[in-house]
Amino acid sequence: MKHQDPNGIEPIMKDLGNTFLQKIIRERIMKRLTNYAHVISLVVMVLLFSPSSKQAQTNLLFDERLHGKIVLFVDSPKAYVNNEVVQLDSGNENVVPLIKNERILVPIRFISENLGGEVSWKPERESIVIIHADNYIELTIGDKFMGINGMAKELDTSPEMISGRVYLPLRAVAEALSKQVFWENGLIIISEHKFEKEGNEDLISSLIALLKVEKPVVQKPVVQKPQPPKDQYPVMLETKGPGTALLNGGYVYYNDGFALGNGLYRFPYGNEKSKKILTKDATASMNIQGDWIYYVVPNASGSSENKNPIKKIKKTGSKPVTITKDDPIVEMVVDGEWIYYTSFKHDKKKVTLNRIKTNGTSKKVLLENYYDYDNRNISDSKKGDIRNIHVHKGYIYFLRLIPCGYGKECSRIYRMKTDGSGMGVINKEEYAVRMQIANGKIYYSRFPEELRDDRTSPAPIDLYTMTLNGKNPTRISKNVAGYEIYFIEEYKVHGDWIYFGLDYVYKMRTDGSFVTKLTDEVRAPFRFNVVGEWLYFRTTTNAHRVKINGKGYEMLHW
């Protein structure tokens, strides 16, 4: 019978010869080579016809039950999304879901973007903005409030920066994005509709086997603790203007800004019961600079002729030090070693803009104006009530208010160098009733030029913004509750929000969106200040506050 050689081994043996011993050796070698060939053939068959581990994995990934879902696993850098396994952060294997203080924390950017959201980071405020569907969501590192379409929602814990990424409690993420969350032995499934364990046990087991890692790929992420709110919420420190309530170094400094106040108080933020009185002086136009609080002691009610002082006192409490006295002082701004203030000589209807060093030396009059508007002997270049002084990057910005019609006073916006030189108008067409510098821009309530000196037509006082050099005037205010917003004169720009008074207290984003009424407890509010989670404001009779999410209204009796 002819020898069969299906494996092609015969040619290998052709040189061994045909002796008896050679035949035995030849047969044994052929037997071993044949066995090896069978093994090799079997391996080849397996590779050709058996599904690979990746193919088997693919069968799992294309399970219809996973459609539209994001699957994560605690301490694992892997995730399932869009029918494939991916790394949560391609450049950082430290980014994993984790458990801290019995809460599941997840990286917000990965989840938001894979659910169709747009995510942006604002480094100047350490906040992250998510635009998802019709929702505008904002979160700030260390802040326990999440803004959703202009309304603040309190969180169990604040966002944290971990491994260079923003983390948030899983439940808060799901709620913000209107999603459902499933949890099972470290497995996290985020979906549009509720995911049930019953009937999906096989899928759950397969997902755990797919994503779970026995040990984290790298060491446990180092958690960067958020900084305390020291100056996280600067009130007037960002504009160097006067204020009635300030947050500085974790302490709140409060005065009512009127002679009927009962002094100046200090207390740790969130612990008002431990308040301490620093001085019994009635205080107004309060500024904080370094270790000192600077303030004006206003004249007694009904008196406007006596000179009054600017004083300073240590933030921790000390004997007040008088820096200067002058004709009735109304506004004061502290910037570095200089104090800028306005004083009024009422018998001559004269107002001056002055500066003096914080040690009381080098006093100088920078500008002299008159508010005797009907006196024809005073040139127009000298007329105007100097108001809303702000100091910013070597310039003083201010208004010179004169009657504009409809019972309002308005002014072009002026600026000069801090030594009093180079005064000029930054925009010759725009008139402002009030202004504030914030976020590197000028925000101003605008009086329409076409209505100046018109005593009959109503004058809409809309809120506008322009650059610091007077370019690109842009209307901000649009509408609230379906009707046009008019007469926005009292407001405070703070971060991305503008707090203002109409009939009641409102807020809106600096682009004019998400207009929200905060409270209808108080009518005709004015003099707004934001301190932490609280908005402080006044009426003609008392001080008030309400949380920036519209909750917790209080009338203050400090």
What CA–CA distance (Å, rounded) separates 270 from 260? 25
What CA–CA distance (Å, rounded) separates 468 from 481? 32
| Distance (Å) of CA 361 to CA 274, 324, 358, 445 | 37, 9, 7, 36
Q: Is the pLDDT of residue 156 over 80?
A: no
What CA–CA distance (Å, rounded) separates 46 from 44? 5
* Number of H-type helices and E-type strands within the chain: 5, 46
Q: Is the pLDDT of residue 380 over 90?
A: no
Q: Is the pLDDT of residue 303 over 70?
A: no
- Backbone phi and psi for residue 338, each to the nearest 5 degrees, phi listed first: -115, 145
pLDDT band at 92 (very low <50, low <70, confident <90, very high): confident
Q: Is the pLDDT of residue 137 over 50?
A: yes
Please state which CATH class domain 234-376 belongs to.
mainly beta
Query: Quick check: 138 and 149 in contact, CB under 8 A?
Result: no
pLDDT band at 399 (very low <50, low <70, confident <90, very high): very high
Q: What is the residue-averaged pLDDT of the chain?
A: 79
- Find the range with the poorest average confidence among 59-73, 183-197, 309-323, 430-444: 59-73
- pLDDT of the residue at 509: 82
Q: Is the pLDDT of residue 539 over 90?
A: no
Mean pLDDT along residues 385-405: 92
**What are the residue ranges spanned by the domains of the chain?**
10-49, 64-224, 234-376
Q: Which of 303-317, 374-388, 412-426 has the highest mean pLDDT?
A: 412-426
Percentage of the chain modeled with pLDDT above 90: 27
pLDDT band at 12 (very low <50, low <70, confident <90, very high): very low
- pLDDT of the residue at 122: 79
Q: Is 459 exposed, middle or buried (0-12, 13-18, 19+ CB in 10 A)?
A: buried
- pLDDT of the residue at 319: 94
Bridge partners (DSSP) of residue 398 are 414
The model carries a pTM of: 0.63
- pLDDT of the residue at 335: 92
Neighbours of 201 (CB within 10 A): 10
Please state which CATH class domain 64-224 belongs to.
alpha beta
- pLDDT of the residue at 298: 83
What is the Cβ-side half-sphere exposure of residue 538, based on CA atoms within 13 angstroms? Answer: 17
pLDDT band at 219 (very low <50, low <70, confident <90, very high): very low
Q: Is the pLDDT of residue 300 over 80?
A: no
What is the identity of the amino acid at 29? I
- Find the range with the poorest average confidence among 231-245, 367-381, 444-458: 231-245
**Could you tell me which residue, 223 or 552, shows the higher pLDDT?**
552
**Could you tell me which residue, 19 or 84, shows the higher pLDDT?**
84
Residue 503 makes CB contacts below 8 A (sequence gap 6+) with 523, 524
